[in-house]
Structure 1
């Protein structure tokens, strides 16, 4: 099966090394993926230049989401490896807007990847 991120559609914004699209299966309205143009499976295989490109787009996309959706917070995450939940092996950064009341108890944030460890 061809990589869905190697031939992107509906790009929101881009720079020389990365681009951003809306997630096809969003956690919340405005959920964005930031993806390197180079096919690379894992964040730890990216270059410093690609990481800088990710960060530039994270800032740009946050401004866009602040304007369009006015979220109360954000989660930023990367799944590295199948056991971490990665299903598309072309690295991508999730920028997920969070809204007051979108879940009953958000405390623990990204710790929720292992639900019994979220509450502490």
Structure 2
């Protein structure tokens, strides 16, 4: 996809990958270590992923968490997939935000669970 920012990322931005996904650090992080896991195939969102892509994203998510744990020692994580404009999706290419959370963080993603 010619105008897709994630399709044109340089390989050197990648800090972890498997055959179907790659991980980069977010260029506008909301916390220290904020990473993105991005599909190598251009697909709009997680609901369009093939079963093998769902397995691969889970595998890379665990690997990235281990790397972030070792480097940043967070107290928790938000793992987010925004799907659709009303949900905050601005890049229409499948990606997960992996957001390390730390004691004392401001409420980045807070809503009341009912």
Give TM-score, length-normalised by structure 1.
0.86
List alignment gaps of at least 5 residues for structure 2.
none
The aligned residue for residue 12 of structure 1 is 15
Secondary structure of 2:38 counterpart: strand
Give TM-score, length-normalised by structure 2.
0.90
CA distance in 2, matches of 1:76, 1:6: 21
Instruction: Measure how far apart 1:33 and its partner are.
Output: 0.4
Q: 1:102 aligns with which of 93, 100, 105?
A: 105
Runs of 4+ in 1 over 4 A off after TM superposition: none
Note the alpha carbon deviations across 1:11-59, whole angstroms, 9 max, x for none. Answer: 0111111110001111101001001100000111111111111111110
Higher relative contact order (CA 8 A, sep 6+): 2
CA 1:52–1:102 in structure 2 vs 1: closer, same or farther (change >3 Å)? same
Matches within 5 A, 1:108-119: 110=109, 112=110, 117-118=111-112
CA distance in 2, matches of 1:118, 1:98: 18
Q: 1:58 aligns with which of 55, 58, 61?
A: 61
> Does 2:17 match 1:2?
no
Q: What is the total number of aligned residue pairs between the two structures?
A: 111
